[in-house]
Amino acid sequence: MRLVVALLAALACSSAFAQEDIEAIDRGSGIGSLRLSFDIAGEPGPQGPAVPHSGHGIEMGLSGGSGEDTQSFSGAPVVFGGRIFLPGTLQHEFDFGFLEVAYRYRHFFGASRVFGIEAIGGLGIASLDLTTTSGTTRASDKLENWGLVGGFGIVWKFLPSTSLQSRITLFGSGEREGVTGAARLDVHVAHALARNVALRAGLVSWGIVSQRAGEDDANDSLNSRIRAGLSGLSLGLDVAF
């Protein structure tokens, strides 16, 4: 999670805030994903396209999960959803979803083709549905933006149909409202169940930022900046052609 937060710092500009930040981070979430891919150049091996191989392709991915967190704060108030939350304890509940469509390049090295790297670039949409509750106040808001997606990964095929895959993915919308940026770090073991279907299981960590208001810009809203996160076990399904 520290690595994800550090990456998000590069996506969001720093500024002074009169409001307290909202922090909603759940480190025990279950995160699901679905990935559909099509080869546009390159030949899969004898195990079929569901096993990673060199070449070019198009990926469409959907992932997300739900989380909750308790935040205690003092000093400045939290401003969210048109409500003011005075210092004390807040209960956060949130749902996060991410849809991406990207070009993918993957290359394996040497005669054995065991170790490979991959890079992706494309478009995505990130959505954060957050509800915040105190003893006397409750507010909800849905933050959603389109933006650019980029990523880099490493693949190790330690068995003919089984591989260890790690990838870091960055999303940036260029907007202060909505979801400003997000970062995902994932490590999975993937096994091809059939020529076109693989199952992934592993660990995922998501970090999400909504930059929102800043004292340096009178045109910004007064909403507090939001920092949210999900991390935990992940299960994914890959369908490849």
Tell me the per-residue pLDDT of 125-166, one tens digit each, with 9 for 90 and over: 999 999 999 999 999 999 999 999 999 999 999 999 999 999
Q: What is the rounded CA–CA span in Å between residue 172 and residue 135? A: 34
Per-residue model confidence (pLDDT) at position 175: 87
Query: What percentage of the chain has pLDDT greater than the value 70?
Result: 89
Tell which residue, 27, 23, 25, has the closest CA to residue 232. 27
Q: What is 25-45 written as a DSSP string?
A: EEEEEEEEEEEEEEEEES---
Beta bridge partners of 33: 63, 236
**Residue 45 binned pLDDT confidence (cut-offs 50, 70, 90):** confident
Strands 181-194 and 138-159: unpaired
Across 226-237, average pLDDT: 96
Place 177 in a pLDDT band, splitting at 50, 70 and 90.
confident
In terms of Cβ atoms closer than 10 Å to its own Cβ (0-12, 13-18, 19+), residue 82 is: exposed
Angstrom distance (rounded) from CA 199 to CA 239? 9
- Which domains can be identified in the chain, with CATH numbers? 2-240 (2.40.128)
**29 pLDDT more than 80:** yes
Q: Which amino acid is at 222?
A: L
Q: Is the pTM of this model over 0.75?
A: yes
Among 10-24, 56-70, 193-207, 225-239, the minimum mean pLDDT is found in 10-24
pLDDT of residue 13: 40
**pLDDT of res. 100:** 98
Q: How confident is the model at residue 213 (pLDDT cuts 50, 70, 90)?
A: low
Residue 17's pLDDT is 45
CB atoms within 10 A of CB 158: 10
pLDDT of residue 221: 60
Instruction: Indicate whether 89 pLDDT > 50.
Output: yes
